[in-house]
Amino acid sequence: MERETHYPCPECQVGDLRPAPVTYFTMQDGQPVMVPDFPAWICDVCGRREYDTSALAELRAVLDTSRPAKRKPRRPKPGGDPETPQLPAESRRRP
């Protein structure tokens, strides 16, 4: 006989948190993200949800890799691009 894992609920302190798959919603860059069958712990009395911390870490890692890099444009190195006209050395110096 397999024993079901459960923990006392920190919210109501009456019920037990039990594992259950839920639909997880979040916003990423102003866009809604929905993940079905996300692992969570649900209180059988008050309904409090606590999401599995390792699953949240994996989801954040996946969502962060899908973001475009937030880098500032770098200034081109002098003489790096042959199609970009270069100013004479006298013009580039500061007065």
Q: Is residue 31 part of a domain?
A: yes
The CATH number linked to 52 is: 3.10.20.860
Q: Is residue 83 part of a domain?
A: no
Which residue matches tokens 């890692």?
61
In this prediction the pTM is 0.60
Do 17 and 6 form a contact (C-beta atoms < 8 A)? yes
pLDDT digits (tens, 9 = 90+) for 24-57: 998 888 889 999 999 999 999 999 999 989 999 9
Per the structure, the count of domains in the chain is 1
Instruction: Give the HSE-up count for residue 93: Cα atoms under 13 Å, Cβ half-sphere.
Output: 4
- What average pLDDT score do residues 19-27 get? 93
What distance in Å separates the CA atoms of residue 88 and residue 90, rounded to the nearest whole number?
5
In 29-75 the beta strands, taken as DSSP E runs, fall at 31-43, 49-51
Q: Is residue 78 part of a domain?
A: no
